[in-house]
Each structure stands twice: as structure tokens, then as C-alpha cells.
Amino acid sequence: MTSASPPSIATCPTVPLSNGLQIPILGLGTSHQGGYSQQAVLFALRECGVRHIDTARRYGCEEQLGVAVRESGVPRGDLWLTSKLWPLDYGYQSAKQACRDSCARLGVEYLDLYLMHWPDCMVGGRSNREVRAETWRALEELYNEGVCRAIGVSNFLVHHLEELKEDGSIRPHVNQVEFHPFQQPWELMQYCQREGIVFEGYCPLAKGQALTHPKILRLAKKYSCTPAQICIRWSIQNGIVTIPKSTKEERIRENSQVFGFCLEAEDVTALTTLHDGRHVSWDPTHVE
């Protein structure tokens, strides 16, 4: 890695969706429980060239995020905004209303991507499959109406996707799943690749657990960068849309500066060996 400052995320590559849209391969994640900072979002948009932001109804920050987007001065057409539908809003009518409510809170006429947040529908008396199918039908209509430019799912495993394939008429454009050096669901990734579903990874730093691993620290020294940059760069080199979260300006700048170097093939492979199956977020393994 050269001593010059790496390019910012303004030069961020994109990944094509099956419908022809291009999603930036790197974005900024937000979350609840202190995972949102208005100033940090403004800094990301204005100073770091971030153009992809991920949020959700569950996080409770859509309205604040909408204010930040407007204050940033970045044209809506230059932004990729993702939000997610929480299971308490699953079902045909409630899903359609929840999507429009998210748009209203964000102050936008459309979402670039809208995801079903979790495969367990939390609805008594009906099967998860039945409720997922009904909810997906609502998302398909929102997509056809242009309220969502793309639709997808989050935390869905192969069997969830197989059922949706049988029950729906539009294949999810994206599946957003936990992905980091300790959690590498290659079988799921390969399935998504075969089916034309873009794989998006959250928690790329394993909520900080990856930042002290000796192998990652050695690579950070080798490439004259930070452990976080190693993890994010590794995820991107695996072709994964990656959305690290941070509320600290210096960390957001650091996370956006991952396009000025490449990991050598042997180092990409070395990080692949760190998989131990741990989850730092939700584990959907037992959701029917």
C-alpha cells in the first residue's frame, strides 16, 4: 500500500442486481441501541462520499436519517437507501402500509431496496411460510408500482429462499446476511450466486471481535492499514456488498478508504480459514 491516502468511497464500485440496477458495494449501516449518529451520517455523506445507507424500521432512526439526507445536499438520485420490514408488520396490507410509512419517515418517494428483515414471522396460528409468501406478494406489488426499486430479504437461509422461489413470482434481488471472518456461510452465498441473488453482508468486523485477532493484526501491519480495513477489504474482494456500522467520524473515514489496496490471494485464503461458525447477531438456523 502506498503512503498516499487511499481513494474515498466516492470511487466505490457497484454490483449489478438481476434487474439491472447497480448497488454500491460499500455502504454505511445504522442500527438501534446507540447505533445512529446524525453528525456521523452527515460526515459520511459530505466528507467521505458515502452514497449507500442501510436502515430499518426496527432501528427507529428513519426520520432522523431523512433529515440528514436532506441536509447533506446530496441529490436523491445519487443515493442508495435501503430499509427493512419488521416481522410485526408482515402480512399483505400491513407490509404495504409499513413500506409507505418508511418512505414518509425518510422523506422520499421511493426506496432503492426494501427487505424482509427476518424469516420468523412472529404471527400466531399461521405458518411462517404462509405469512412470508403473503408478505412477499406485497413487496412484489410495491416493486411493480415503483415504490421500491428493488426488493429482497435479510437473514434468509437456503430453505427459506427455496420456499419463496416456489411461492412468489419475483426472485429476491438481495439477501442480507451476517458475514465476517468467523461467520462465512459459503453454501448460502453459492446458492444466492446461482439464483442471481446479490449477497450482502452485515457485521463485517464481527462487532469488533475480529479487530484483535492475531492473523488480522499481522495483515494490518503488512498492508499499513487498520484491522477494520483488512476485514472490509476482504469482504469486498469476495464480491460481497458490505455495510459496516459506525457512529464515529474517524472510523467512517477509515472504513471508506479500502479501495487503494488489494489483499493478495494467499491473504484472502488465510482469512477464509478463520471461520468458526460463531454468530455475533441473530442466528436464523432454527427458523422454519
CB 183 within 8 A of CB 152: no
Kind and range of the H or E element at 132?
A: helix 128-145
Cell of 62: 428513519
Residue from 59, 90, 114, 223 carrying the catalytic annotation: 59
Q: Is 173 annotated as a binding residue?
A: no
Residue type, 279: H
In Å, what is the CA distance from 286 to each residue of 156, 169, 171, 199, 283?
11, 26, 23, 21, 8
Angle between helices 158-167 and 128-145 (to 10 degrees): 60
Q: Sign of the C-alpha dihedral, residues 264, 270, 274, 275? A: positive
Q: Are 154 and 190 in contact (CB under 8 A)?
A: no
CB 133 within 8 A of CB 168: yes
Annotated catalytic residue 36 = no
Nearest alpha carbon to residue 208 among 241, 243, 180:
180
CB of 118 within 8 A of CB of 155?
yes
**Residue among 195, 202, 242 nearest 17 (CA):** 195
- 38-47 and 62-72 helices, crossing angle to 10°: 30
Nearest CA to 228 out of 44, 15, 246, 11 is that of 246
The residue with cell 447497480 is: 22
Binding residues: 117
Binding residues for substrate: 117
Task: Indicate which residues carry an active-site annotation.
Answer: 59
